[in-house]
């Protein structure tokens, strides 16, 4: 195998996750525009934010984060990356933080939709935090953790991980969520 082929092969440990990051980042760009408009108009409707929250819950968390947590991270731990006090612990903490922020935004959607100033303010505040956190999270994964993963996951581990991704991606509920949220992403991405 040539060096180039080896590099191509090694990249596969995180390829699907890196591709999903691009989908999430495009939706985050659309989310940023929506937040800016809401800030200017002082309104945040369910019609605008319901689909974004559904995408964040379904695509980013149910599909993408679960593949990281249940499939990739255990392989890294097995190869010596510590869970506590290292990058995996930070990533897990940020996944939890993202879930909490999405839950808080969902919780104030009724009040925001009804035009209550407090509801709109909370939604925009939490939305801004979520946007900033998830962009930074993706940057850290792409440039730090996934680089480590591509280096560490080789041979049998790599083959087992790819099979594991396929298992996860063939669960009926995963497939339905992924398909529904991919359609949402086309609508929610900036520029679409």
| Alpha-carbon gap, residue 67 to 62, rounded angstroms | 8
CB of 42 to Fe ion, least distance (A): 33
Interactions with Fe ion, residue window 44-83 (CB under 5 A): 68
CB of 91 to Fe ion, least distance (A): 5
In terms of CB distance, is 113 or 141 closer to Fe ion? 141
CB of 75 to Fe ion, least distance (A): 15
- Of 31-39, 40-48, 89-97, 167-175, which segment contacts Fe ion by CB under 5 A? 89-97
CB of 55 to Fe ion, least distance (A): 14
Question: Quick one: tokens of 137?
Answer: 């999270």
Q: Please answer whether residues 61 and 95 qualify as being in contact, where contact means their C-beta atoms are separated by less than 8 angstroms.
A: yes
- Of 90-98, 102-110, 163-171, 184-192, which segment contacts Fe ion by CB under 5 A? 90-98
In terms of CB distance, is 108 or 145 closer to Fe ion? 145
| Alpha-carbon gap, residue 21 to 15, rounded angstroms | 10
CB of 94 to Fe ion, least distance (A): 7
- Of 31-39, 88-96, 114-122, 161-169, which segment contacts Fe ion by CB under 5 A? 88-96
Give the helix/strand (H/E) hosting 102.
helix 87-107
Interactions with Fe ion, residue window 108-147 (CB under 5 A): 141
Place of tokens 């680089």: 147
In terms of CB distance, is 44 or 138 closer to Fe ion? 138
DSSP string spanning 115-165? T-HHHHHHHHHHHHHHHHHHHHHHHHIIIIIHHHHHHH--HHHHHHHHHHH
Q: Please answer whether residues 71 and 160 qualify as being in contact, where contact means their C-beta atoms are separated by less than 8 angstroms.
A: no
In terms of CB distance, is 53 or 60 closer to Fe ion? 60
Where residue 155 falls (left for φ over 0; alpha for ψ -120 to 50; beta otherwise) is left
| Alpha-carbon gap, residue 56 to 179, rounded angstroms | 14
Residue 150 in the binding site for Fe ion (CB under 5 A): no
Number of residues that bind Fe ion (CB under 5 A): 3
Give contact residues for Fe ion (rule: CB under 5 A).
68, 91, 141
């Amino acid at each position: 195998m040539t060096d180039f082929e080896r590099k191509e092969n090694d990249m596969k440990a995180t390829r699907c996750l890196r591709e999903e990051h691009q989908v999430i980042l495009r939706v985050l760009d659309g989310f940023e525009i929506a937040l800016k408009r809401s800030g200017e108009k002082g309104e945040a409707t369910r019609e605008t934010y319901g689909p974004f929250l559904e995408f964040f819950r379904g695509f980013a968390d149910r599909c993408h984060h679960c593949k990281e947590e249940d499939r990739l991270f255990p392989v890294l731990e097995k190869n010596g990356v510590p869970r506590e006090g290292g990058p995996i612990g930070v990533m897990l903490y940020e996944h939890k933080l993202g879930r909490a922020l999405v839950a808080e935004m969902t919780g104030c959607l009724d009040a925001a939709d009804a035009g209550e100033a407090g509801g709109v303010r909370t939604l925009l505040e939490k939305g801004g935090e979520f946007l900033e956190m998830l962009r930074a999270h993706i940057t850290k994964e792409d440039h730090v953790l996934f680089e480590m993963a591509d280096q560490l996951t080789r041979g049998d581990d790599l083959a087992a991980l790819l099979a594991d991704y396929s298992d996860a991606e063939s669960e009926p509920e995963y497939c339905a969520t992924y398909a529904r949220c991919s359609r949402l992403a086309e609508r929610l991405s900036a520029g679409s």
